[in-house]
Amino acid sequence: MTNLTHAGQYQTVRLIFDTDIESDVDDVGAVAVLHALANRNETEILAMMISSSNPWSASCLDALNTYYGRPDIPIGCVKKNGVKKGSKYTEIIAKEYPHDLKSIDKAPGAVKLYRKILSSQPDNSVTIVTVGYLTNLKNLLISEPDEFSSFGGSALVQKKVRVLVCMGGVYPKGREWNFYQDAVASKAVVRSWPTPIIYCGHEIGVAIKTGSGLRDMPRNNPVRRSYELYNNLSDRESWDQTAVLYAVRGLNGQLKDVWDVVTTGSNHVNPDGSNIWQELPDNQHAFLVRKMKPDRVARIIEDLMIKPSHSNSK
């Protein structure tokens, strides 16, 4: 696999965040982490994409971004054949907190927004982190040239994307939610994505518990409110937060004491959405391996989750 680590070069990461933000609450935790990192100028959030068809997901995500002082982050949504699950929090967050994206129908299609954003960025500069279904990414790969770029989807990705960080799968093998909910998309992306992919598997986030510390946050914080609605502010696994943290800090060597990285071999997804790591072919795939004790990683993540935004820090 191409060596993407450049220790000591802490450049701001240009990032697109792709989330399902519906059935579980770690997506909300990941949004909080992402804004905290953006507040530190560690990342520039170019856009956010939604891979689920929950009718309240887009408004919920826009409400979170508005609370954190970034109401104009563009949000794109899957427009057909998206996975749709129930949610304990998206509708309530959308109704209780201000935002201007009133429905999923008002949001642009994820593929169109991906193409618009990618075409405007320098070559080999964008990190995509996906913490949901791979539906949008599959559709992006097969997209045709348009008003934004003369490149087809795969060629545009190869030209503009530096790396894909994917919360999906189990390593070395298993069957995980994000992959099997849209197994066709997962198989297609894992097989055909033209840039390096780093996988944060189920086994990474499952032991990292965060959420109970949000009890100390202001009651009007929508992240606190989301966890309250989901599990009464109990701890929850931190799958999505780990992917965001690695996407921003991992590639410059800051997390070498947190996770090891297996860089030989490749991922393979079966028709049922299960996956297995294979020694051959040895291509552009890698996966994280636990190194630091989970409770220590949890403190790092939860500290970022509870950081106040620059517009609501009083």
96 found inside a domain = yes
pLDDT at 310: 52
Band (2; pLDDT cuts 50, 70, 90): low
Place of tokens 């891979």: 51
Q: 10 pLDDT exceeds 90?
A: no
Place of tokens 């931190």: 238
Q: Stretch 148-153: mean pLDDT, rounded?
A: 99
pLDDT at 313: 41
Q: Stretch 185-207: mean pLDDT, rounded?
A: 99
Q: 73 pLDDT exceeds 60?
A: yes
Q: Stretch 185-210: mean pLDDT, rounded?
A: 99
Q: How many residues does the chain have?
A: 314
Q: 63 pLDDT exceeds 80?
A: yes
Q: Stretch 137-154: mean pLDDT, rounded?
A: 99
- CATH number of residue 301's parent domain: 3.90.245.10
pLDDT at 5: 56
pLDDT at 307: 83
Place of tokens 């030989």: 264
Q: 311 pLDDT exceeds 70?
A: no
Q: 7 pLDDT exceeds 50?
A: no
pLDDT at 261: 98
Q: Stretch 12-16: mean pLDDT, rounded?
A: 98
Distance (Å, rounded) from C-alpha 53 to C-alpha 41?
A: 31
6 found inside a domain = no
Distance (Å, rounded) from C-alpha 10 to C-alpha 248?
A: 9
Q: Which amino acid is at 125?
A: S
Q: Is the separation of the CB atoms in 72 and 45 below 8 Å? A: no
Distance (Å, rounded) from C-alpha 136 to C-alpha 140?
A: 6
259 or 252, which is more confident?
Answer: 259
Distance (Å, rounded) from C-alpha 75 to C-alpha 112?
A: 11
290 found inside a domain = yes
In the chain, at which residue ranges do the beta strands (DSSP E only) sit?
A: 13-19, 43-50, 75-77, 126-130, 161-166, 173-175, 197-199, 209-210, 236-237, 259-262, 266-269, 274-278, 285-290
SS3 content of the chain, % helix, strand, coil (to 5): 40, 20, 40
Distance (Å, rounded) from C-alpha 243 to C-alpha 200?
A: 6
Distance (Å, rounded) from C-alpha 100 to C-alpha 94?
A: 10
pLDDT at 314: 36
In the DSSP assignment, the letter for residue 180 is: H
Strand order in the sheet with 197-199: 75-77, 43-50, 13-19, 126-130, 161-166, 197-199, 285-290, 259-262
Query: How many domains is the chain partitioned into structurally?
Result: 1
Please state, rounded to an integer, the average pLDDT across all residues of the chain.
95
In the chain, what percentage of residues exceed pLDDT 70?
Answer: 95
Q: Stretch 167-183: mean pLDDT, rounded?
A: 99
**Which residues are CB-neighbours of 141 under 8 A, at least 6 positions away?**
153, 154, 157, 188, 189, 192, 193
Of the listed ranges 77-81, 153-157, 204-208, the one predicted with least confidence:
77-81
Q: Containing domain of residue 266, as a range?
A: 13-305
